[in-house]
Amino acid sequence: MRRAIRKFARVAVRRGEGSEFARLLRKGARHASTPTTSGSAVAVSIVSGSSTLTSTAYAPNPITVAVGGTVTWTNNDTTAHTATANSGAFSSGTIAPSGKFSMTFPSAGSFPYRCTLHPGMVGTVTVP
């Protein structure tokens, strides 16, 4: 089964389809809906239909970014959303459909965040 999934992942990447899902499978992720992505630049998608979702509305979730790294949220939904830290450490304001918001994390910490328009949408950025 795993071999078939990896083969699908390679085909999807070549076609440009499902590249985030395929990348996670190639890396051996066990559950694609709750991956941890790390690095100095991390992209987060606000998925279509997010206002009715919870921890799967931001993908990937949770994420880890290096100190000084940048996270960019892209709204792939048809309605506006936000990415707002529970602590107030950052706030995107309203991100319109197809809009983006980037935040650079200058220091270590754990930053749970949510959409202030749809409070069930939650995520976490960890900066080790």
Tens of pLDDT, residues 86-123: 999 999 999 999 999 999 999 999 999 999 999 999 99
**Are the CB atoms for 95 and 73 separated by under 8 Å?**
yes
CATH number belonging to the domain at 34-127, selected among 2.170.16.10, 2.30.30.40, 2.60.40.420, 2.40.50.140: 2.60.40.420
Q: Which residues of 81-112 are buried (b: 16+ CB within 10 A; e: fewer)?
A: bbbbbeeeebebeebeeeeebebebeeeeebe
Average pLDDT on 18-45 reads 55
For 3-19, the pLDDT digits (tens) are 444 443 333 333 444 44
Q: Note the pLDDT of residue 103.
A: 98
**pLDDT at residue 20 greater than cutoff 90:** no
Q: Note the pLDDT of residue 10.
A: 39
**pLDDT at residue 22 greater than cutoff 50:** no
Tell which wins on pLDDT, 52 or 108.
108
**pLDDT at residue 66 greater than cutoff 90:** yes
Q: Note the pLDDT of residue 124.
A: 98
Task: Tell me the whole-structure pTM to 2 decimals.
Answer: 0.71
Q: Cα–Cα distances in Å, from 3 out to 6, 10, 24, 28, 88?
A: 5, 11, 14, 11, 44
